Chain A
């Protein structure tokens, strides 16, 4: 049990009710409890805003109107969602194997940097350059996690530290390129690389959103299928659940860990290229990644590494960020907005936990099952 659930259990212990773990959590319930958590959090936020003398209804209306009231809003959300979705998908894949890739920011940056390198140095038809940029970004993202992946797979070195620290190295490399070897000497800003002269084709009817939006959707679909219907997905889930059992089943655990980690880096790296190939974002500077990796990590964790959940969660968080920016222009303080983000994310996290439990009436029949399990465990542990 999570500490929170045991706290809730302790509160209930004085009542005829008790907290019971669900045998299985279906996708619908998982989604509903999270939405419930977000809605509940927004009610709390609304009450707090009202108590501090702000018109909560107006603020919520402004937020919804900013997102859904005009095409620019929908496109703004989509643009913000793409990098978050890409890093979140990479992290979600790693979480399926209980590997914590905290370095998707760095892989994202390196992917973008490789794409810039190809884009500013290659001549040729735009479609070809863009494909090569995507390939370079994918490889660069994978390369950026290669050392942590090898260390984790073959020497059991904790990947959290290694992937996290490489983020800072990637950031320095980007700064160096923007200030140094790929600096745009004609631009007004000092810290920027030259601009890639190509962009991905736009989605018909959209002003700024390109077909990049389809990429995370396609990746989510592929991953969903892999984990639903292939032996590879099955093996990754088994490794995540119990590596010793995976070895028992003859799965090459170490090699799988290596390959899957490379894939998580590759997805984040490709995300960097997608970000770079949007109109108006074709050069890199130090502010290129607004910590998309961190947002992606939150999305993946809150979605419980379910790939469609990542898409839904990524779009939600992008909407939330977009609304936050619009509300700032309407005079709401940035601190309040950050606090609101926090409350809403906490609400979703609580919803994630709530999905796994139900409140049941306490009776003898319920307890006997648990007691029998306990007995078996105790006898097993009792030893000689």
Chain B
């Protein structure tokens, strides 16, 4: 298929895609040349993955054209895209864990012989790996492999199907630093061999390290496409984050007592890898401390460790001077801590239960709703009705299941519920993620109300605009470390953007 090498490998012309009236991509022109590594950069929700999902045949564009090697294409499924030579390696692997590497690579591959022995499979795999210069033990079971090796199998799987344009979606998100370095080498080699690689990332260091050219997307619009050579991290950071402000929030300098204090806190993520490293943080009553950072740098674990949902390896956390190390989740809640969890459907609510039951999830045991063992149904219903009205949740009844609510309504419900539970501290993790402008503003005003009534707020968000807008002070987190803390007045977007990407002030990589 690689006819004219001067012609772009893939290009999109005026691609638009909206989800329910919200534009995810707005007339995007994008072009990838042969033999290049093209970094696709942008914040969360900028449209990077949506664009690549269109190229890989997972979504269909509302408008615009996809041209592959000079021929216009209309992919109706990922199979069409792979036929045209475009393959995508997703952030979450799609491998069959109990099967071997060779079996996984041959699974669903039209060239797999109908009757075949294990040995032939292994030999074919060996040969193919040799051609590609990528090695994994073909007889190993997937679950025995490290994440980096599994990713290699995914890449081989896509290459085996004849992909000439390889899309890697946030490939380093799951890798250790060493594995990431190895991946960069593989990617460079594949490009040198004539393939094109689209490398989705929001880590500036990776962009500079691996790509030939880069395209920055912001809010579904292409900001720039340029050669990586000569680009600076700060320039990319500025293009990624923009400069807009939606709503004017008065920032304060608060000097009161600390409501939340973390001293030397370290903890592990679910995979047993260090997620927080020696974190010191203080949040005072009546202030919002924003945590800026790219998601996956320890924010989830930070929220969980404060709410006693995750244990600590080292350090201490106090809420109003009381050590929470020995406290149960319930005791922490009772001491006045509310938590808007990052995963509202997975953790913050029970979608199969009625709205009324969800309304009291974090308070049903209090005197307001229960006496001894009995739960006062009527007071639960009354409270739920009030909550629904105050949070302006659109639902036909508090008896309808929470799963029937739209995402915005679910989040309004959870945010208001947790704000009410938070007397002393509100931990808000990505509170407006995925919400439209109105719902986001309402959730933000709920949080600001809590601050104004003297509650301490820890705001975690990967939307830098939101952190800058809302926070009285800003802490930047990168790979589980706090890179710096700034007063809102002295916060510099570009500087914070650099820290988020792992660059320290002097430009050196942390």
Q: Which residues of A contact B (CB under 8 A)?
A: 21, 23-24, 228-234, 237-238, 240-242, 244-245, 247-250, 368-369, 371-380, 382-384
Contact between chains at B20 and A245 (CB < 8 Å): no
20 A-B residue pairings within 8 Å (CB atoms): A23-B396, A231-B370, A231-B373, A234-B364, A234-B375, A238-B357, A241-B350, A242-B350, A242-B352, A247-B347, A248-B329, A372-B21, A375-B20, A378-B24, A379-B22, A379-B45, A382-B47, A384-B42, A384-B43, A384-B46
Contact of A245 among B47, B354, B361, B404 (CB under 8 A): B361
Contact between chains at B373 and A24 (CB < 8 Å): no
Bound together, the chains give a CA A233 to CA B407 distance in angstroms of 27
Contact between chains at B20 and A238 (CB < 8 Å): no
Contact between chains at A248 and B309 (CB < 8 Å): yes
By a CB distance below 8 angstroms, the chain B residues around A234 are 357, 364, 375
- Which secondary structure dominates where chain A touches chain B? helix
By a CB distance below 8 angstroms, the chain A residues around B234 are none
Bound together, the chains give a CA A228 to CA B351 distance in angstroms of 19
By a CB distance below 8 angstroms, the chain B residues around A249 are 329, 361-362, 364
Residue from the set B343, B347, B370 with the largest chain A CB neighbour count within 10 Å? B347
B274 → A minimal CB distance (Å): 22
Bound together, the chains give a CA A373 to CA B350 distance in angstroms of 17
B198 at the interface (CB under 8 A from A): no
Contact of B49 among A23, A232, A248, A384 (CB under 8 A): A384
CB within 8 Å: A-B pair count: 136
Of all chain B residues, the one with the shortest Cβ separation from A244 is B347
B322 → A minimal CB distance (Å): 16
Contact between chains at B434 and A376 (CB < 8 Å): yes
Considering the complex of A and B, which 3 residue pairs feature the smallest CB-CB distances, nearest first? A375-B20, A376-B407, A375-B19
Bound together, the chains give a CA A231 to CA B364 distance in angstroms of 7
Contact of B91 among A245, A375, A383 (CB under 8 A): A383
Contact between chains at B330 and A250 (CB < 8 Å): yes
Contact between chains at A384 and B401 (CB < 8 Å): no
By a CB distance below 8 angstroms, the chain A residues around B362 are 248-249
Contact between chains at A232 and B373 (CB < 8 Å): yes
B50 at the interface (CB under 8 A from A): yes
By a CB distance below 8 angstroms, the chain B residues around A230 are 373-375
Contact between chains at A245 and B21 (CB < 8 Å): no
A68 → B minimal CB distance (Å): 37
B408 at the interface (CB under 8 A from A): yes
B191 at the interface (CB under 8 A from A): no
Contact between chains at A376 and B408 (CB < 8 Å): yes
Bound together, the chains give a CA A369 to CA B20 distance in angstroms of 9
Contact between chains at A373 and B407 (CB < 8 Å): yes
B387 → A minimal CB distance (Å): 16
Q: A24-B399, A384-B170 are in contact. Are A231 and B365 (CB under 8 A)?
A: yes
Bound together, the chains give a CA A245 to CA B348 distance in angstroms of 6
By a CB distance below 8 angstroms, the chain B residues around A233 are 375
Bound together, the chains give a CA A384 to CA B218 distance in angstroms of 10
Contact between chains at B375 and A245 (CB < 8 Å): no
Contact between chains at B407 and A383 (CB < 8 Å): no
Contact between chains at A379 and B434 (CB < 8 Å): yes
Bound together, the chains give a CA A229 to CA B377 distance in angstroms of 6
By a CB distance below 8 angstroms, the chain A residues around B77 are none
Contact between chains at A378 and B45 (CB < 8 Å): no
Contact between chains at B45 and A382 (CB < 8 Å): yes
B349 at the interface (CB under 8 A from A): yes
Supplied contacts A23-B401, A383-B49, 5 more A-B pairs, CB within 8 Å: A238-B357, A249-B364, A369-B406, A375-B20, A384-B49
By a CB distance below 8 angstroms, the chain B residues around A237 are 350, 353, 357
Residue from the set A248, A372, A374, A375 with the largest chain B CB neighbour count within 10 Å? A248
Contact of B353 among A238, A248, A373, A375 (CB under 8 A): A238
Tell me the chain B residues, 357-394 only, with Cβ under 8 Å from chain A.
Answer: 357, 361-362, 364-365, 370, 373-375, 377
Contact of B404 among A23, A250, A376 (CB under 8 A): A23
By a CB distance below 8 angstroms, the chain B residues around A250 are 328-330, 333
Contact between chains at A241 and B329 (CB < 8 Å): no
Contact between chains at B19 and A379 (CB < 8 Å): yes
Contact between chains at A241 and B49 (CB < 8 Å): no
Bound together, the chains give a CA A369 to CA B21 distance in angstroms of 12
B251 at the interface (CB under 8 A from A): no
Of all chain B residues, the one with the shortest Cβ separation from A375 is B20
Bound together, the chains give a CA A230 to CA B377 distance in angstroms of 9
Tell me the chain B residues, 225-275 only, with Cβ under 8 Å from chain A.
Answer: none
By a CB distance below 8 angstroms, the chain A residues around B400 are 23-24
B118 → A minimal CB distance (Å): 29
Q: A23-B404, A375-B19, A376-B407 are in contact. Are A242 and B354 (CB under 8 A)?
A: no
Contact between chains at A248 and B20 (CB < 8 Å): no
Q: A24-B399, A372-B21 are in contact. Are A248 and B373 (CB under 8 A)?
A: no
B496 → A minimal CB distance (Å): 17
Of all chain B residues, the one with the shortest Cβ separation from A227 is B375
